[in-house]
Amino acid sequence: GESVGLHLPTLSVQEGDNSIINCAYSNSASDYFIWYKQESGKGPQFIIDIRSNMDKRQGQRVTVLLNKTVKHLSLQIAATQPGDSAVYFCAENPYRNKLIFGAGTRLAVHP
Amino acid sequence: DADVTQTPRNRITKTGKRIMLECSQTKGHDRMYWYRQDPGLGLRLIYYSFDVKDINKGEISDGYSVSRQAQAKFSLSLESAIPNQTALYFCATEGHPPGELFFGEGSRLTVL
């Protein structure tokens, strides 16, 4: 989930398990949402996006779920692999073309 | 070669010094952004530019300035660096239709 402190929340999973990373967004006017993955020492990379007229979108091993009623976004990663270890950010777009990023969640995958 | 290149990748400087971080892109995108990343705070928008003649302040523009020298180049300046500007800085581009941002590898700045 989101963090307001200096330390990122961490989700620890076993290799092969499914991971669910949650995000609460703040603006009910947001109509576009993106998940980014940031590996150590690198810039964030796009994973998957979803528009507000959808509640679910699937990619390769990833699924994003959107619940507009409670302003909640989640990223599900199937069969988590060591290469999935990273910090994951959700981002919302309440003002045209100006994304607002969450604080991030660290995913740690253990063998 | 990276599509979005930032220089320098690491810089240590002293309080009061002027610093410029440069960003160049080969994606042909009109829209470019500068973000700052601090632990636990995610990415915060400093400045953005939708084309060469369009520059806009983001949520934390105080103490920073930018220059869009060409479609491919967007530089961020700290006129008089202070320690609380120590952070990881990212440049990003955005194409059409708008949505996905393409980030550089980041520039780590330390102000002593």
Q: In this model, does residue A68 exceed pLDDT 60?
A: yes
pLDDT at A6: 46
B3/B18 Cα distance (integer angstroms): 27
Contact B42 A101 (CB under 8 A): yes
Position B31 pLDDT exceeds 80: yes
A21, A91, B25 from A106: Cα distances, Å: 9, 15, 29
Distance, in Å, from the CA atom of B10 to the CA atom of B20, rounded to the nearest integer, reads 12
Q: What's residue A1's pLDDT?
A: 37
User: How close A46 gets to chain B, by Cα (Å)?
Assistant: 7
Q: What is the pLDDT of residue A73?
A: 95
- Name the DSSP class of A78: S
Residue A4 has pLDDT above 60, yes or no: no
Q: Does A5 contact B40 at a Cβ distance shorter than 8 Å?
A: yes
Per the CB < 8 Å rule, is A42 touching B106? yes
pLDDT digits (tens, 9 = 90+) for A88-103: 999 998 766 678 888 8
Residue burial B71-85, b: 16+ Cβ < 10 Å; e: rest: bbebbbebeebeeeb
Name the residue among A93, A55, A94 with its Cα closest to residue B100: A93
Contacts B48 to A, Cβ<8 Å: 98
CA distance A41 to A21: 21
What does the longest C-alpha to C-alpha distance in chain B come to?
A: 41
Cis peptide leading into A82, omega within 30 of 0?
no
* pLDDT classification of A5: cutoffs 50, 70, 90: very low
User: Three-state SS across B50-109?
Assistant: EECCEEEECCCCCCCEEEEEECCEEEEEECCCCHHHCEEEEEEEECCCCCCEEECCCEEE
Q: What are the angstrom distances between the C-alpha of A61 and each of A15, A79, A94, A108, B53?
A: 14, 7, 27, 17, 41
B47-88: pLDDT as tens digits: 999 999 999 999 899 999 999 999 999 999 999 999 999 999
Residues in chain B: 112
Cβ atoms of A76 and A18 closer than 8 Å: yes
Could you tell me which residues of chain B have a Cβ less than 8 Å from any Cβ in chain A? 4, 31, 35, 39-45, 48, 50, 58, 90, 92, 94, 98-106
> In this structure, are residues B102 and B93 in contact, taking their beta carbons and an 8 Å threshold?
yes
Q: Which residues of chain A have a CB within 8 Å of the CB of B87? A: none
Query: Which chain A residue is nearest to residue B43, measuring alpha carbons?
Result: A101
Instruction: Scan for tokens 């990619």, then name that residue.
Output: A59
Please count the helices (runs of H) and the strands (runs of E) in chain A.
0, 10
